[in-house]
Chains A and B, each alone.
Chain A
Amino acid sequence: NAGVTQTPKFRILKIGQSMTLQCTQDMNHNYMYWYRQDPGMGLKLIYYSVGAGITDKGEVPNGYNVSRSTTEDFPLRLELAAPSQTSVYFCASSWTSGKDTQYFGPGTRLTVL
């Protein structure tokens, strides 16, 4: 099992550009999550999904969009990138609810200049 994979590992965007962060899991997990991590701020939940076709907002959804067309994939879309979106982004998955272990990808380091 590859677990949770994320691409790309690094990316530099210019202000106003758009991009999609890819996340794939091969564990047949129902729940998937997108977090951003900023120094000293812990993890902030952006969006999560409880199954294919079902997504919901987390704490900091503004400026992002998600979709979940399959169990395996949960891409995160950034529209009109802003410097405030400079961060490290982590995708995670769990079998069912929040009380189950979350498995994290290696992260994407995004810089917006």
Chain B
Amino acid sequence: AQSVTQLGSHVSVSEGALVLLRCNYSSSVPPYLFWYVQYPNQGLQLLLKYTSAATLVKGINGFEAEFKKSETSFHLTKPSAHMSDAAEYFCAVTHAGNNRKLIWGLGTSLAVNP
């Protein structure tokens, strides 16, 4: 069975600091991995996704994530946080075999302090 673990339900960084949001997955087959972002009082939108091409994936708003099979991780990073990055971030996984549904992490709330 597949699962996703997001380490840290709340992360706080200073404006201009590195953002690192952690996601570890469990999958017995090659996974497809996603990061979605939810701004306050809005629906979710895709930040980036890994679908077995390049292991370093670049997304919107300066975010990127690296697929590391040996560590079963897909951590999200941004070199310099901006106030507008304050949001809820969700990691999700599926796979090529039975991929009708995504398996979602519980989310990480990112606060950016001035």
- Which residues of A are in contact with B by a Cβ distance under 8 Å? 4, 31, 33, 40-43, 45, 48, 50, 56, 58, 90, 92, 97-99, 101-107
Contact = CB atoms under 8 A, between A and B. Distances in A.
A99 B32 contact: yes
Nearest to B52: A99
Interface string B67-80: 00000000000000
Contact of A97 (B9, B42, B99, B106): B99
Contacts of B51: 99
Contacts of B104: 42-43
Q: Label chain B's interface by main secondary structure.
A: loop
A104 B102 CA distance: 14
Contact of A99 (B44, B99, B106, B107): B99
Contacts of B41: 107
A43 B90 contact: yes
Contacts of A98: 32, 94, 99-102
B114 interface: no
Interface residues of B, number: 22
Given A90-B44, A101-B49, A104-B43, A45 B32 contact: no
A104 B45 contact: yes
A42 B23 CA distance: 14
B43 A90 contact: yes
A103 B43 CA distance: 9
B96 to A, nearest CB: 7
A97 B46 contact: no
Contacts of A31: 100
A98 B32 CA distance: 9
Contacts of A103: 45
A31 B102 CA distance: 12
Nearest to A101: B46
A107 B43 contact: yes
B93 to A, nearest CB: 9
A69 B99 CA distance: 23
Nearest to B107: A42
